[in-house]
Structure 1
Amino acid sequence: MSLFKRNPFGHLLFLKRWMIRIFGALTHKRYHGFNELQIDGSEIIPTLPETNVLFISNHQTYFADVVAMFHVFNASLKGRDDTIKNMGYLWRPKLNLYYVAAKETMKAGLLPRILSYAGAITVERTWRDKGKDIQREVNPNDTENIRIALEDGWVITFPQGTTRSFKPVRKGTAHIIKQYKPVVVPIVIDGFRRSFDKKGLRLKKKGILQSFVIKPPLEIDYDNETIEEIVEKIEYAIEQHPSFLKVIPAEERAVEEQLNKQREWRY
């Protein structure tokens, strides 16, 4: 491989490789040491095609969720079932792995800008900007960049577009699924908002059992299912459909809502 080989977005692959190695080594103990990441379903990862795979997940922190996925995916591809023991899997990481992130988040400081090089596809939120509700048309360049990333490899997205639980799934993800027909793999995570601050950069509490469940790819009729049907299928798959609230006690929901307010990161 040429030293100056680039991905479709112009990023030098050797630089991306070293960034993943370094940040992977720095963050490994956050999931296997200070806390314990309990993984289920990682045997699915090696069976997936090399390109056009879309991972959908609930969201709990800005960065810790994605970093955990980089760890789990690379460990799984190196034959580690449901574990990220031993960091050797970081030496030759998967380089065609991308994640969708809000443009304003990735520009908020030097570290997010550096992390962006590891694979961020930055998009403009159509419903919120700088803490205010807005209404904005979808930027066609954002959709095009997701298409390019899917053609090159795997893409991680958080279809609710927020770290708050049980918020509606945005229709944009369903449109992408219908248009580009990727293999859609759901992931359900928990414990991250208890382990880290809202940005997912500062370790807030140790000894937390974090869960990371990879589910089989969704069965989707890309041509005949409606956007609304796909949205509902996503909500159930990542366990964020409103019906899940019925099995959570009201008192527990109230406490969680209060904690969400306390976790809000202010610029």
Structure 2
Amino acid sequence: MGLFKKNPFGHILFIKKWLIRILGAITHRRFRGFNELQIEGSEILKDLPETNVLFISNHQTYFADVVAMFHVFNASLSGRDDSIKNVGYLWNPKLNIYYVAAKETMKSGLLPKILAYVGSVSIERTWRAEGKDVNRQVKMSDISNIAKALDDGWVITFPQGTTTPFKPIRKGTAHIIKRYKPVVVPIVIDGFRRSFDKKGIRIKKKNILQSMEIKEPLDIDYDNETIAEIVEKIEYAIEQHPSFLKVIPKEELLAQEELNKQREW
């Protein structure tokens, strides 16, 4: 790799590699130390193509979710199964992993700007700006940047566009899926909201079991399925469909409470 070789967004890969190494070393204990990250399905990552892969996930914090995925993805590609033991897997990280994030979030300080260099595809939210509801047109440059990232590698997106659970799926994700036909891999995370503050920077509570389940790629008929059908498929895949908000029987609640006690190891 040439010293000044750049990715399609103009980021120097040598600098990006060192940022991933340093940030990875700093954050590793957040997922294997202060708290434990339980991983399921990481073997799926090894069989994915090098480019045009879209990861869809529920969202719990601004940054910790993505950082955990960088750890899991690189650990899996280095031969580890459902484990991020030994941070040495970040010595030669995958450099074409990107994530979709709100532009105003990634410009909100020095750390977000550094994290943006690591792989952010920053977009302007069409429904929210500076803490207020808005209604504006999608910027075509944002769509083309997501396409550029897919063409170069893997892209992580949070189709609800918010850390609030069970919010509607944004149709833009379905439009991107229909248009660019990526391999769509669902991820379901839990425990991050209890472990970290909303930004995912400050550890709020220790000894919380965090979990990440990587599921098999979705079976999508890109040409014939409607936007609404793809949206519903996403809702079920990342377990954010309204049907998951069922009334839980008392016995099940007690069993869940007991399990949570065990999780606080």
Cα distance in 1 for partners of 2:181, 2:228 equals 16
Q: Give the CA deviation at 1:223.
A: 0.1
**Superposition map of 1:38-187 within 5 A:** 38-187=38-187
Matched position secondary structure for 1:118: helix
Cα distance in 2 for partners of 1:218, 1:232 equals 12
Q: Which residue of 2 aligns with 1:3?
A: 3
Q: Give the CA deviation at 1:246.
A: 1.0
Structure 1 runs, 4 residues or longer, greater than 2 Å off: 247-250
Mind listing any 5+ residue stretches in structure 2 that lack a counterpart? 254-265
Letter in 2 for 1:161: G
- Return 166-175 or 107-116, whichever deviates more: 107-116
Letter in 2 for 1:52: N
**Percent identity between the aligned chains?**
78
Normalising by structure 2, report the TM-score.
Answer: 0.93
State the Cα deviation string for residues 153-205 of structure 1 (Å, max 9, x = none): 00000000000000000000000000000000000000001000000000111
Cα distance in 1 for partners of 2:104, 2:249 equals 35
Q: Give the CA deviation at 1:249.
A: 7.2
State the Cα deviation string for residues 117-169 of structure 1 (Å, max 9, x = none): 00000000001101111100000000000000000000000000000000000
Q: Give the CA deviation at 1:110.
A: 1.1
Letter in 2 for 1:242: P
Q: Which residue of 2 aligns with 1:213?
A: 213
Q: Give the CA deviation at 1:64.
A: 0.1
Matched position secondary structure for 1:82: coil
Matched position secondary structure for 2:218: coil
Letter in 1 for 2:126: T
Cα distance in 2 for partners of 1:164, 1:146 equals 23
Matched position secondary structure for 2:118: coil
Letter in 1 for 2:93: P
Q: Give the CA deviation at 1:83.
A: 0.3
Q: Which residue of 2 aligns with 1:193?
A: 193
Cα distance in 2 for partners of 1:182, 1:29 equals 33
Q: 1:152 to 1:206 in 2, by over 3 A?
A: same
Cα distance in 1 for partners of 2:19, 2:123 equals 22
**How many residues in Structure 1 have an aligned counterpart in Structure 2?**
251
Q: Which residue of 2 aligns with 1:263?
A: none
**Superposition map of 1:227-242 within 5 A:** 227-242=227-242
Q: Give the CA deviation at 1:248.
A: 4.8
State the Cα deviation string for residues 218-260 of structure 1 (Å, max 9, x = none): 000000000000000000000000010014579x9xxxxxxxx
Q: 1:161 to 1:249 in 2, by over 3 A?
A: farther
Letter in 2 for 1:192: F
Q: 1:248 to 1:200 in 2, by over 3 A?
A: farther
Over the aligned positions, Cα root-mean-square deviation in angstroms equals: 1.1
Mind listing any 5+ residue stretches in structure 1 that lack a counterpart? 253-267
Q: 1:143 to 1:249 in 2, by over 3 A?
A: farther
Matched position secondary structure for 2:245: helix
